[in-house]
A and B are shown apart, each in its own frame.
Chain A
């Protein structure tokens, strides 16, 4: 069983296998399951991701009314205007947003690694899909590669906003997606690790400050930022750019930053954007608290 990214990469080099295959074989061994069983289970996750994106792109609205409909706006913009950041990147953003809008509306999603960060991995996958034309099996493999990196983060740091802030959730999710994009685009396992490190480095310190405690503001747009970061970092790694700080040390830094983050910035809705005048007013409105009683 690999314990960190260095061990994962050396396994891929020793066995001459992609990261996804190392993850699949470990899962088969630990749980004594067949390849078919494991691929089938991951295929179910892929299907849920696809359905969530479809639903979000048709337009949803959350119960609070804070989020919903932005994925539709972005798709419309791609179709009608000449975007500045490019179709693939904006397509990824719209699909990440779609997923998290469905999540906020209490729809069915696949947590990757968490629900609040569920947009990054599918957003990247279903946007890159249009460019790279992968087989269904390659798409399932994308999820195993993401999972392999998430597995290391979860065991060496944390993946929940309550423990480590948004850097632990969207930061991890974006970095996982970035590593998987590299593998699908034909990069080496080492380049996947570089992409992961670059992405996570750029999300360090991000706090978890949900307005009214809802997984909506700023969570939906943080997934947009996460997926953009993931794709740009993947391109950088594929271009040969490397991270000066090794992957495992970046994960260690994320852990220590999370440990020193005050509780007000870890999913308690007491700090950051949740504590702004508008954030507080929205919370009061949603929970029906009259302003004068504040």
Chain B
């Protein structure tokens, strides 16, 4: 079942006007920010389907950028996010893409700074609920409803077991897990939804494990 909580239906508390086009967009923007881990200095946003047709009317643009600025769905600064981003010197471009997409409310966000960049695809499925369906070329299904960690690793035997072992040692339960790779033996990603947030020392321990390249933490 996609919706598990009564508060997915009754809520969120948000700045109008649209739960899918404003609140959902802010959540996708915030997921991009959390995964990137810092403020970017350039943002390219590609809108598809209903997002592309109606983004200005629904404030999808200000909501996406608000999320990337780390604002929550009920943050009163959302309507002014484009001006706030401009004053910080962040370069933003919006593109309306005609390509056919599976879900009507789809957005692709590319962002970065001088050193790093990130690309993700998010969909807004209704009532402010979202899913991240692609991250840096990897397909995934991340709801953002539970604390989660993303583990970039080499596609080698034992990499998954070593992560599971460290979590087990610290008595952290895995709620859901997904593995995706670009090709056999190449870079791969683990998405692990947990019942609780992990402390940073566990994060560091995971990072030191063999074949583990990078850890990103997502907290809702």
Binds A, one of B1-9, B82-90, B154-162, B185-193: B1-9
B5 touches A103 (CB 8 A): no
Alpha-carbon gap, A269 to B50, bound state (A):
8
With known contacts A104-B16, A154-B8, A160-B125, A215–B58 Cβ distance under 8 A: yes
Q: Which residues of A contact B122 (CB under 8 A)?
A: none
Q: A221-252 interface mask toward B, CB cutoff 8 Å, 1 = contact, 0 = none?
A: 00000000000000000000000000000000
Interface residues on A, range: 35 or more
Minimum C-beta distance from B154 to chain A (A): 36
B56 beta carbon closer than 8 Å to chain A = yes
Alpha-carbon gap, A64 to B50, bound state (A):
20
Q: Which residues of B contact A171 (CB under 8 A)?
A: none
A212 nearest in chain B by CB position:
B57
B17 touches A160 (CB 8 A): no
With known contacts A27-B5, A213-B57, A269-B57, A160–B127 Cβ distance under 8 A: yes
Q: Which of A116, A155, A269 contacts B1 (CB 8 A)?
A: A155
Q: Which residues of B contact A31 (CB under 8 A)?
A: 5
A108 touches B10 (CB 8 A): no
Alpha-carbon gap, A103 to B57, bound state (A):
13
How many cross-chain pairs have Cβ atoms below 8 Å apart between A and B? 172
A267 touches B54 (CB 8 A): yes
B8 nearest in chain A by CB position:
A154
B3 touches A110 (CB 8 A): no
Minimum C-beta distance from A108 to chain B (A): 6
A109 touches B16 (CB 8 A): yes
Interface residues on B, range: 35 or more
Alpha-carbon gap, A158 to B124, bound state (A):
12
Q: A5-23 interface mask toward B, CB cutoff 8 Å, 1 = contact, 0 = none?
A: 0000000000000000001
Minimum C-beta distance from B6 to chain A (A): 4
Q: Which residues of A contact B17 (CB under 8 A)?
A: 103-104, 106, 115-116, 214-216
B14 touches A115 (CB 8 A): yes
Alpha-carbon gap, A155 to B13, bound state (A):
21
B95 beta carbon closer than 8 Å to chain A = no
A135 beta carbon closer than 8 Å to chain B = no
A268 touches B10 (CB 8 A): no
B127 touches A154 (CB 8 A): yes
A106 touches B79 (CB 8 A): yes
Q: Which of B49, B76, B78 contacts A162 (CB 8 A)?
A: B49
Minimum C-beta distance from A202 to chain B (A): 21
A115 touches B6 (CB 8 A): no
Minimum C-beta distance from B108 to chain A (A): 17
With known contacts A162-B49, A162-B105, A107–B6 Cβ distance under 8 A: no
Alpha-carbon gap, A148 to B6, bound state (A):
7
A150 touches B126 (CB 8 A): no
B52 nearest in chain A by CB position:
A268
Q: Which of B19, B57, B58 contacts A111 (CB 8 A)?
A: B19
Minimum C-beta distance from A145 to chain B (A): 10
A143 beta carbon closer than 8 Å to chain B = yes
Q: Which residues of A contact B9 (CB under 8 A)?
A: 112-113, 146-147, 150-151, 154, 159, 176
A123 beta carbon closer than 8 Å to chain B = no
A41 beta carbon closer than 8 Å to chain B = yes
A3 nearest in chain B by CB position:
B1
Q: Which residues of B contact A146 (CB under 8 A)?
A: 9-10
A196 beta carbon closer than 8 Å to chain B = no
Q: A87-106 interface mask toward B, CB cutoff 8 Å, 1 = contact, 0 = none?
A: 00000000000000011111
Minimum C-beta distance from B106 to chain A (A): 10
A162 touches B50 (CB 8 A): yes
B18 touches A112 (CB 8 A): no
Alpha-carbon gap, A268 to B54, bound state (A):
6
Alpha-carbon gap, A277 to B124, bound state (A):
30
B57 touches A150 (CB 8 A): no
B208 beta carbon closer than 8 Å to chain A = no
Q: Which of B16, B78, B128 contacts A103 (CB 8 A)?
A: B16
B1 touches A111 (CB 8 A): no
Q: Which residues of B contact A191 (CB under 8 A)?
A: none
A153 nearest in chain B by CB position:
B9
Interface residues of B in 117-150 (CB under 8 A from A): 124-128
Q: Which residues of A contact B50 (CB under 8 A)?
A: 162, 263, 266-268
Alpha-carbon gap, A176 to B10, bound state (A):
11
Binds B, one of A42-50, A73-81, A126-134, A182-190: A42-50
Give 12 CB contacts A-B under 8 Å: A27-B5, A42-B6, A45-B10, A106-B16, A106-B17, A118-B16, A151-B8, A160-B125, A160-B126, A163-B104, A163-B125, A215-B21
* A interface residue numbers (CB < 8 A to B): 1, 3, 23, 26-27, 30-31, 41-42, 44-45, 48, 64, 102-116, 118, 121, 143-144, 146-148, 150-151, 154-155, 158-163, 168, 176, 210, 212-216, 263, 266-270, 286-287
